[in-house]
Amino acid sequence: MTAIGKVLVFTVLSAASSMAFSASVPAQYTACNGSDSQRAFGLTAATSCLAYGSGNINGNASDPFLTSTNGAGYEFISNTENSSAWTEVTSQGSSRAFSFSIDPTLWASYDSLAIGVKVGNNLDLSWAVWSVESLASAFEVFIAPKQGAGLSHFNIYGSGDGPGTGVDNPTPVPLPAAAWLFLSGLAGLVGFHKRKAAAKA
């Protein structure tokens, strides 16, 4: 084999091995991973990927999502580690998908919610966080390649003060302005009554 042939074979094998580590996310999911990541994450009912990385998302002060730029303004709401809270919906080759839901009444307290998922630490990515569609409460997460039981836990984060439609509570009219409006209406009624009484006389 010539030197050019050896270089060509090495290049093809290197490309194939690096492609074996990067998984693609099916179209129905919003992807949340780097283009050269060894693991791929996806979530349905998501509007965008906010963050992903290695380590653990646990809601404490050192939570890598909460300390990230995209995590600013979010607060940790809850963590679900009980595997009965999610259901495996597909397991194809090296990928898995799980469905789960959250309490829809959370939308009464927050303008926006984010969902974070955590798997094992064997590869470069072990967690991902997405912002989710307004009022969404049912989700499906895609993980490739799978690891162990698949899903360690999922977190819920919230931002804003509700009511979940992206609109804050209206500003109340100050009392002095309301009092002047009431007194003006009252004066108009008194004036109308006097004019009516004078017309009868």
For residue 18, the model assigns a pLDDT of 36
Listed residue (87, 110, 107) closest to 97, CA to CA: 87
Please report whether residue 103 resides in a domain.
yes
Task: Give the pLDDT confidence score for residue 8 in this predicted structure.
Answer: 39
Residue carrying structure tokens 């009431």: 182
For residue 167, being part of any structural domain is answered with: no
Question: Interior CA angle at 59 toward 38 and 168, to 5°?
Answer: 110
- 12 falls within a domain: no
Asked, for residue 47, whether it belongs to a domain, the answer is: yes
pLDDT score for 138: 96
Which residues of the chain fall short of a pLDDT of 70? Answer: 1-23, 147-149, 163-178, 201
Q: pLDDT exceeding 90 applies to what percent of the chain?
A: 43
Number of domains comprising the chain: 1
* Residue range(s) defining the domain that contains residue 140: 25-159
> Over pLDDT 70: what percentage of the chain?
79
Structure confidence at residue 23 (pLDDT): 63
Domain assignment present for residue 52? The answer is yes
Name beta bridge partners: 156.
Answer: 78, 115
The answer to whether position 8 is within a domain reads no
Would 96 be classed as within a structural domain? yes
Residue 168: what pLDDT? 53
Q: What is the pLDDT of residues 162-176, one digit of tens each?
A: 764 555 556 666 666
Task: Provide the whole-model pTM.
Answer: 0.69
